[in-house]
Amino acid sequence: MAPTLQGRHMDVTCAQCGCPYRTGASVENDGQGFVSATTCPICRYTMRLNKVDDPNQRSFNGDRILVSKYAYEVGDPKRWDVIVFKFPGNAKQNYIKRLIGLPNETVWIRHGDIYVCSRQDGGAAEDFHIARKPPHKVKAMLQTVDDTRYRPAVLTQAGWPDRWQEWSAPDSPAWRRQDDGGGFETASAPAGEVWLRYRHVVPSTADWADLADERVPANERVPQRLASGEYQGQLITDYYAYNDSDQSFGHGTAGQHWVGDLAVECDDVEVRGSQGAVLLDLVEGGMHYTCRLDVASGEAVLAIDGGRGVFADADGTAVAHPKAATKLRGPGSYDLRFSNCDDQLLLWVNGRLAEFDGPTTYVPPGNVKPKWSPQDAADLEPVGIGAAGVALRVERLRVLRDVYYVASSYHTEEEGRIPADDDYQHLLYGIGSRDAYIARVFASPDSWATTPLFDARREDVRFELGPDQFFPCGDNSPQSRDARVWSQYGNVENPDPPPFVSRELLTGKALLIYWPHAWRRPIPFWPNFRRMGLIR
């Protein structure tokens, strides 16, 4: 269930950018192995651990949690609950996962999302609907992609491009980075719209090695590569720092799947005027999902591609521009969060969820793929904050992504039943290095329209549930051993457990982390209060 809940893990701070993060260390259970390095989720710096001199860089035990064993005696489990149950393959072993599918449903895992329908509906594609997370679950399950609070000085000194900038007007930007490096501001109130946009320009292991190579100064090498067209950005993926240690086995630790469900958090947005608008934009599949907040009235207005798309709910109600009243009104400081997850737009202002006068859900095209053109960078710049007619300053920007559920299952080959640990069909086999091919496509926007990669995503991974049968999945989908894939490889003497959990195997509902690991220094056994809290 990492990173929501931790098993044995490392809890460290990046030596380059200062970002605190956690990495799995289950390989150290029972002396099976040893984790000697971890990789930062923000700057991707691989840090060698000093476990001798720094006790806090040794692995910690997992979270201790409080479980309500009576929750499901008085009520039924709900989708997105975090449940504790006996593993169907070994009733002596407890598992903890998130509940995805309910009794008498068919669950369809497609392009990272969960779709469900009643078994009585027949199971045709049109019978399914997307399973949307409620707002508090959306917030709890978002994974950090970028945070402007953490930026390595060595990258700045080398001329590494800012991820946030006016990519379309680099020579005459209306936005400028503040001297402390974490925030941005406009020089004045712009007459039209001016956009600060995010590109996912992350250093690779090879880039960090180059930066450490003193034979050619980094501040010469990086500008040369920028001039040759390198470091232009790539797609956001289902990367987990939790999976990326020197003991990570198999492929895919860099993220194998494009994630289009994104969110942006803008902390301490200072509005320096009483007129104009604050603009937020999220792009998925070339479609712009925008929110315009009017500074004078506080009204928030949503749009899909400038009004060319429509929002619709299950009852068929359709609207082009749903509106909501918010507290963003006049000069002041505001915290904003805008998300596009599960085909639904959500907006928070100062921590309060905005209530719109119409649906904020929508139906996307059938096969959403990333798009790019010289006229519209689209999914190459998937997140933006803009100003129109008002001067702004924003202290901190964070890009986040939704959990991407991998369409894992088992397929049969000559050597037996083999787990498929990514979304892609066999037609991609034989292309050489699979990981290198995927990484190359993700970093080549001019290939997105022609590559077979996105058409090769599985469309047939479905699971049928009967009465009193539940379908759990882990939040760490690439490495979670859950109902999608648990199996004993067809061993006759130890048959496969079924791809569900029966009601009698449910133990209860996970409520809170009451005792995460304690710190070893500066004060031994000092409680880790930051990790204590309710389990969402």
Q: For the chain, which domains are there?
A: 9-63+516-534 (no CATH), 68-132+404-423+458-509 (2.10.109.10)
| Centroid of chain to Cα 287 | 19
**Residues in CB range of 195: below 8 A, 6 or more apart:** 166, 168, 279, 281, 384, 385, 386
List the beta strands (DSSP E) in 253-382: 262-271, 277-284, 287-294, 299-304, 311-312, 318-319, 323-325, 332-340, 345-349, 352-353
* pLDDT the model gives residue 414: 41
Alpha-carbon torsion angle 472, 536, 111, 6, nearest 10:
-70
Rg of the chain, C-alpha, whole Å: 24
Q: What is the largest CA-CA distance in the chain?
A: 74
* pLDDT the model gives residue 360: 98
What residue type is assigned to position 467 of the chain?
P
Q: Under a CB-based contact definition with an 8 Å cutoff, are residues 319 and 290 in contact?
A: no
Instruction: Give the Å distances, CA to CA, from 192 to 119, 299, 509.
Output: 52, 19, 51
The token pair that represents 512 in the structure block:
């809170």
* pLDDT the model gives residue 250: 40
* pLDDT the model gives residue 249: 42
DSSP helix/strand/coil, 444: coil
* pLDDT the model gives residue 224: 86
pTM above 0.85, yes or no: yes
CA gap 299, 283 in Å, rounded = 22
* Average pLDDT for runs of 10 along the chain of length 536: 79 94 81 83 92 78 88 95 94 94 96 93 86 97 97 92 89 84 88 96 91 76 86 96 67 81 98 98 99 98 96 91 98 99 99 98 93 97 98 98 89 49 69 82 97 91 95 94 76 72 96 78 70 83
Evaluated on CA atoms 165, 171, 172, 177, the torsion sign reads positive
